[in-house]
Each structure stands twice: as C-alpha cells, then as structure tokens.
Structure 1
C-alpha cells in the first residue's frame, strides 16, 4: 500500500457480527492489492476481535481522519468512532447500541465519499433488527445510501463472476412488488444495468429480463403484468439501442445467463434474484448499489451472529467487495 493508491472505505458493520473478523482476514491474507484501506468503525471492537481470533501479523492504527492513515503493508487504519462501550457489547446478539453504531458508520462513509476523501465504500453487514431497535427505520444499506446521497433512481445489483442480477424491487413484500410493478421502473433498471456493466468493461451488455409470473405469463394465461408493464419497458429500451431481451421465464433465465446467453438478468423482486445468486455464489457474491453518485459494494450475506467472533467466518465476499469497489473507482 502507498499514499498514491485509491482509498476504499470499509464500514465495520454491526459490531456484534462477523464484520470485524472478515475485514481483518481480508488484510491478513493480503488478498486485496493496489488500493489503500481505511475501516470506518470502532478501534476497541477491532482490537478485541483481532486478539480473539489471533491475527498477529496485522497492526491496527487508530486515526480520527482519513489523512492520518499510514497506508502501509500489514497496517490497517481504523477511523475510530466512539459509539461502542466494549464492556457492554455482546457478540452475536441484537443490541440497539450496535445497530446505532453500524448505522453511523455508513453515514460517515457516505460523507467521506461525497467529500472525495475515499473513492468508494465496501460495507460489512449490518443487522436490520438492531438498527430498528436504535430508531433507524431503513430496510437496509441500499435505502440508507440512497437517502443520504439524495438518490431517487437506484437498484440493487448482485455480482458474481458466473452470474449477475439486478432487481426491480427489493425490500418490500411480494404482494407490493407485484402491485407496484411499473414499466417506467423496469425501463430504469434496464438502463442502470446497462450503464453499470459498461463501467465494468462490457462494451454492449446483453441483458435478459425475467418475467414475474410462471412461464413469463404464458401470453396472459398466468397473469398480464408482462404484457402491461414489462414488455413495453423492454421495447422502449430496445428502441434506444440497449441490447435487451425478454420477458423470459424465471425458471430458465438464470440458467441461460450462467451458460453465457446474458451478461446480467433483470429480476422482478428480491427472492427471484437472490436465490439463484446465493446458490451459485454465497461466499463470493457482491452486492452493488447501482445508480448512486458514489461507489458502494458490499458482502452478499448477513451478520451471521451464530458464528460471530469465533474465527470461522469466510472473508471471500468481503475481499471481492473491496476488489469490485476498486475496479469501479478506476472506470
């Protein structure tokens, strides 16, 4: 690491979860190269987890602003926020103190990114229940980031080398996802997918759009959402020169994408896209909030309270998140 490399900010996530561990392991194994890292979190938590899981070849450096970072090999700079009483923190438990801290790390990271002190954010997982207990009523990272960057048009994109999925709706009930499906939103997500993949090096991304009903409605036999909302959106983007096809039956489109027919799939709702991605890339998948004015990537898993602070968490998704944030920052 050197001073002239891009700086990626890593939010520590919920202090009671696996976030501190997977961050430390990402540095320990030296898997992240060609960028500088700064953790936005709590030094007491990072130090305690470091000792518990016996990571001895990583030195923690406490800083109060990004410019104080050492950015040296074997050193992890931690921008300390004094929002955790380490004596009261219980690993693997939902706590309002931890939920509030995780929320504050994200808000601080957004501030740093908007001020160009860091080029992107890679987020460790937070716990929605803990965050709600602290009085922060956001469904997740995506909505926090959109709110604090004043972004109206955004989408959740899940990235794995073998499959990429972007969502029309995410953290809403299945009934609401169907009832609020609209051609303008579908067209917008197709465009976001197209622009994001271009940033990742795809000259002309091939986009496949899933139907929302079985067999993509089967010509109206199983629902008319495809004909009323999805097809008009696809035709609109085709006229604008986007290489997009659909709607395609949800039970085959992900296989076709994995086999190489499409570079990305537009999924209509949360589980339609998450299930195939997590089946294929649970440890390697990355969550990208596409459409923001800042770069944000994240692990595609939760806080894993059941294994927190035990030294057995898999850091691969964290490594991939940092790598992808670095790639996006250079485009």
Structure 2
C-alpha cells in the first residue's frame, strides 16, 4: 500500500490544536500510517506535548528544502514568539502564526512534497485580525492556491459526508439561490470526494427544501421543478443518487448507514443533524481543492485550552480520513502519464 506524506500544522497557538496534535502523534498507529512533517515553531509543538502530557521528539529537517523524508520530521518556522502565545485569548499574533504555517503547508502540497494537509482548529476572529480577508479559511486557501474551480466545505461524521447547495446566507435568501447547477455541483463534490476516500459506487441522498418534500407542490415547487430533475439526471447516468427526501427523515437513513452522503439545501439543515449525531467525531474537509485538506470540525475551545483535557476523537478522525484521501491523491499524482 502507498504511504502518504502529510503536512501537519498546529492551528491557533492559543487554542487546543497543539495539544490535540501532540496527543495524536503519540499514537504508534498514527506514526505508522503516514510519513508526517510537523510544520511550525518548535516551541508550539513542545507546548502541545506539555499540555497533553506526552513525549514528542522533534527530528529536524536540514535546511528549508524538504527532501524525500520518512517517519516524523519537523520543519522549523519562526511565526510567533513564545511570550506572544496567550492561551485562551484571541490575538493577532496567533492568527498570523496560523496563516503562515497554513501557507507553508499549502506550498509544500502544491510542490508535491506532501500529499495532504491536516490543521488544528483555527480561530476566525484571530485569522481576520491577522489579515484573512476572506469569508473563511476555505475561501482563503482557494485564493492562495489560485484555484477558481468549484469548492465547498464538506462535513464528515464517521463514514457519512454532507455537502450543501447554499451555505453562509440568510434563510430568507435560500429558496431563490437553489439552482440546478448548484445542486449538480454539490452532488458531484460529494460523489467525487467519496470515491477519493475509497467508495467505489457511493449512495448520495439529496434532501428536499420544503416540508414533506413539498407534498406534490402543496408546500412549494422546488422539488418538482429543480431538485427532482437533477436527481433524475444522475440516475439516468447510472449513478446512485436518490431523492429529494424530506429533510426530517433523510438523516434517519444516514444514521442507519443506508446512504454515504446527504446533500442539503442550506447550512443548518445538515449541520444540526450531523452535530447531534456526533459532534466530538466530526471532520471538515476542504472539498474540491487541488490538494486534500482536513481538520477537526470543532473550534479552538478556549474554555478548556491549556488544561490537558481536550478530546482527540475528531482530530484522529480527520487524520484517518486524510490518510485515505492523500493516498488516492498520491497514487494519481505519481501515476505515469499515458500518451
């Protein structure tokens, strides 16, 4: 089996990211699953190890260039002074540190030095103070990479993925922003990401917009005029896409393991369900970008930062999924080009 090479960055220095990643890297199975490059300030990694109460040996790379490394190596950076790390506080310094390590990890991925990126939780207020100048880190990454194709956040819980047609807009704007092309993009993103993660013929369920899936037009015609026809298009292509399902029952199918992904029409339609099903195991994937990127779905948890009690479950799930995505990415990247 091809072993992927991953860049791992600590996330916001003020939050639980350094602790979680140090705890993750203390697991033998993690160290055996991938070659790992720790990117960032050595004192941040030592900080995390101290908070987690684990040993974390930092084996430095020689110079700034990344050779064909193996095992667990450390690429030193100087992004924040130790005295500027303020645990459980939003600071510009922490935001700047997070952005600089993210930029470096993306550079490594685009250069083919690593096959995927795992980052500890970011704090959006700190990123914004440091100059994020984007709606979120996903838009920032796309802009940094010069990527203009379709991309969107994917939420993952165990083997279930969710994507959405509309995202960070007001609820009153949702219906007018439901389009056939938007639904196609969301279905395609879910399908392609599942295939990349190892599913050969994934089942993608599409949620309705209206109560009772519109009840044959009684509560709205979006299911008849827009959503249903797109589902039929995919079925005509022999793809396992079903719906539109009433949104108050589709996640019962998901919970029972009957579907691999749910495409929702708006943000909270999927987020509430998936967080109730397992908030401590949730993963966020930067779907559609030219390199695989994952992170635990929770935030920086300033309320428990520095206390050594952060739950590593979501971080381990993010790592496990990244190994699968990055392995596929590596195989495709290294495959000989046919003439």
* Residue pairs, 1:16-27, within 5 angstroms: 16-27=14-25
Q: C-alpha distance in 1, partners of 2:92/2:24?
A: 27
Which residue in the other structure is 2:307 paired with?
310
Higher deviation after alignment, 230-239 or 247-256: 230-239
Q: C-alpha distance in 2, partners of 1:177/1:96?
A: 34
Residue 318 of structure 1: CA displacement? Answer: 1.2
Q: Could you list the per-position Cα deviations for residues 280-328 of structure 1 after superposition, in whole angstroms to 9, with x for gaps in the alignment?
A: 2222222122222111121111111111121111112111211211112
Partner SS state of residue 161, structure 2: strand
Q: Could you list the per-position Cα deviations for residues 10-42 of structure 1 after superposition, in whole angstroms to 9, with x for gaps in the alignment?
A: 121111111100100001133413211112222
Aligned mate of 1:270, from 264, 267, 272: 267
Mark the runs of 5 or more structure 1 residues left unpaired by the alignment.
none
Which residue in the other structure is 1:47 paired with?
46
Which residue in the other structure is 2:323 paired with?
326
Residue 262 of structure 1: CA displacement? Answer: 1.6
Contact 2:19–2:47 (8 Å) recurs in 1? no
Indicate yes or no: 2:81 matched with 1:85.
yes
With over 3 angstroms needed to count, the CA separation of the structure-2 counterparts of 1:271 and 1:78, relative to structure 1, is: farther
Indicate yes or no: 2:168 matched with 1:166.
no
Indicate yes or no: 2:232 matched with 1:216.
no
RMSD: 2.1
Partner SS state of residue 280, structure 2: coil
With over 3 angstroms needed to count, the CA separation of the structure-2 counterparts of 1:7 and 1:203, relative to structure 1, is: closer
Q: Could you list the per-position Cα deviations for residues 17-75 of structure 1 after superposition, in whole angstroms to 9, with x for gaps in the alignment?
A: 111001000011334132111122222222233234432x3212344546369744xxx
Mark the runs of 5 or more structure 2 residues left unpaired by the alignment.
329-339
Which residue in the other structure is 1:140 paired with?
136
Q: C-alpha distance in 2, partners of 1:172/1:105?
A: 30
Q: C-alpha distance in 2, partners of 1:261/1:100?
A: 43
Q: C-alpha distance in 2, partners of 1:71/1:122?
A: 17
Contact 1:194–1:242 (8 Å) recurs in 2? no
Contact 1:99–1:131 (8 Å) recurs in 2? yes
* Residue pairs, 1:155-194, within 5 angstroms: 155-194=152-191
With over 3 angstroms needed to count, the CA separation of the structure-2 counterparts of 1:176 and 1:45, relative to structure 1, is: farther
Contact 2:254–2:260 (8 Å) recurs in 1? yes
Which residue in the other structure is 2:337 paired with?
none
Contact 2:18–2:47 (8 Å) recurs in 1? no
Contact 1:66–1:117 (8 Å) recurs in 2? no
* Residue pairs, 1:240-319, within 5 angstroms: 240-319=237-316
Which residue in the other structure is 1:7 paired with?
5
Contact 1:42–1:78 (8 Å) recurs in 2? no
Q: C-alpha distance in 2, partners of 1:176/1:146?
A: 25
Higher deviation after alignment, 17-26 or 151-160: 151-160
Residue 228 of structure 1: CA displacement? Answer: 3.3
Indicate yes or no: 2:31 matched with 1:35.
no
With over 3 angstroms needed to count, the CA separation of the structure-2 counterparts of 1:308 and 1:88, relative to structure 1, is: same
Q: C-alpha distance in 2, partners of 1:49/1:34?
A: 21
Q: Could you list the per-position Cα deviations for residues 169-224 of structure 1 after superposition, in whole angstroms to 9, with x for gaps in the alignment?
A: 33333334443221101011111222222222322211110012222222233233
Q: C-alpha distance in 1, partners of 2:171/2:199?
A: 32
Contact 1:187–1:236 (8 Å) recurs in 2? no
Higher deviation after alignment, 227-236 or 267-276: 227-236
Q: Could you list the per-position Cα deviations for residues 99-134 of structure 1 after superposition, in whole angstroms to 9, with x for gaps in the alignment?
A: 122122222211111100101111211011111112
Partner SS state of residue 295, structure 2: strand
Q: Could you list the per-position Cα deviations for residues 124-168 of structure 1 after superposition, in whole angstroms to 9, with x for gaps in the alignment?
A: 110111111122122323222222231421232222235321222
